[in-house]
Homo-oligomer: A and B are copies of this chain.
Amino acid sequence: MANPFRLLTKDPAGARRGELRLPRGSVPTPTFMPVGTQAAVKGVTAAQVRETGAGIVLANTYHLALQPGAGRIQKLGGLHRFMGWSGPILTDSGGFQVFSLPKKQVSDAGVTFEFEKGGAPAQLSPERSSEIQAQLGSDIAMAFDECLEYPCSEARAAESLERTLRWERRSREAHAARGGAQLLFGIVQGSTYPHLRRRCAREIVALGFDGYAIGGVSVGEGLELLTRIVAVTAPELPEDHARYLMGVGLPEDLLAAVERGIDMFDCVIPTRYARGGTLFTVRGRIRIEHRKYRRDGYPIDTSCDCHACTTVPRAYLHHLFTVRDPLGETLASIHNLRFYQRLMERVREAIERGGFAALRDQILAEMTSTAAEER
């Protein structure tokens, strides 16, 4: 175990400014990780992702195990070489995806599911997930946990928690037995129940990981419950280790979580929204397919320095979406990714000068023009 995190500053509001020191590059935190589900941020080259300011990306174990297969990626020299991304990569454990499948059988051994419809059953377990992530060669691997739906009864959450603790211990053991430079983060589950979250956090911290994640969120619980989960969990995590809130979220979610001491985020929202034509601006979201943009000569966001905003007007994006040229989704993705990176840049600067609360209020106030824009 090697702690990659260094806490640099804490803001009066509670936000943390830190650094992840990884062999493939240092990443300033709070940080947002673009999601390259299938070893690609859809339609965006690795160089373009890098240009948005991203220092670390996430790739999905489940999807890559399906296609092209983790063993194949290993033989090709690992995920970094495969996808042409030389910076750090975090892989999830595959748990979240497996538990989203309609047909699955869960036992203490692991989760059995159909890889393909009608195909031979496959299994994902702490050991198998660990092996796959080692084959992929990610810089940070995640422990294998049971992911619960929302809402979820307290009895079910409590029972699941015991299994998650057993599984994470096995993840820890499988990872340790292998050795190597890959880091392993533990995950705190416990649904929406504060005492379960606290108990899980203490047990996971006692096991000891290179960083700690809060999982089982972004499943429909909403900002209020999310904030409460973070608020009760984060204080249980060691100050000197990285804290990662999985699968979150919208800009307002990120701000609420940063304030409560979160350092790392990943989410498909910027890219998924982009492909659907929804673009983030400091004044709120816009739907680029709306006909009012067909004559608009301004950039998506006049304050943005992304490749799209510095080269083409909104009317061009509108045109590309109208004629369904894939370049539209690419430029929109680049813009939204840059928007998220700029948001984190502003957040980091604010924390450094102890002004996070003021920045948060400013950003949220600016975004209130969202509603007006969206109509």
Binding site for B on A (CB under 8 A): 38-47, 63, 67-68, 72, 75-77, 81-84, 294-295, 297, 307, 311-313, 315-316, 318-320, 322-323, 325-327, 329-331
Q: A40-B320, A63-B323, A76-B316 are in contact. List 11 more A-B contacts (CB 8 A).
A: A38-B319, A38-B325, A40-B327, A43-B330, A45-B307, A68-B319, A72-B295, A76-B315, A83-B312, A83-B316, A84-B312
Q: Which residue of B lies closest to A318 (CB)?
A: B68
Given the complex, which residues of B lie within 8 Å of A40, measured CB to CB?
320, 325, 327
B45 adjacent to A322 (CB under 8 Å): no
B294 adjacent to A68 (CB under 8 Å): yes
| A82 vs B39: C-alpha distance when bound (angstroms) | 32
A268 to chain B, nearest CB (A): 14
| A77 vs B296: C-alpha distance when bound (angstroms) | 11
Partner of A327, one of B45, B294, B322: B45
Given A46-B311, A330-B330: A316 touches B77 (CB 8 Å cut-off)? no
Given the complex, which residues of B lie within 8 Å of A329, measured CB to CB?
326
A45 adjacent to B297 (CB under 8 Å): no
B38 adjacent to A323 (CB under 8 Å): yes
| A84 vs B320: C-alpha distance when bound (angstroms) | 13
| A154 vs B326: C-alpha distance when bound (angstroms) | 43
Given A40-B320, A325-B42: A312 touches B68 (CB 8 Å cut-off)? no
A271 to chain B, nearest CB (A): 11
A82 adjacent to B313 (CB under 8 Å): yes
Given the complex, which residues of B lie within 8 Å of A297, measured CB to CB?
75-77
A312 adjacent to B38 (CB under 8 Å): no
A316 adjacent to B39 (CB under 8 Å): yes
| A42 vs B330: C-alpha distance when bound (angstroms) | 11
Partner of A313, one of B81, B311, B325: B81
A-B contact pairs, 20 of them (CB 8 A): A38-B320, A40-B320, A42-B326, A43-B325, A43-B327, A43-B330, A45-B307, A45-B327, A45-B331, A46-B312, A63-B323, A67-B319, A67-B322, A72-B295, A75-B297, A76-B315, A82-B313, A83-B312, A84-B311, A330-B330
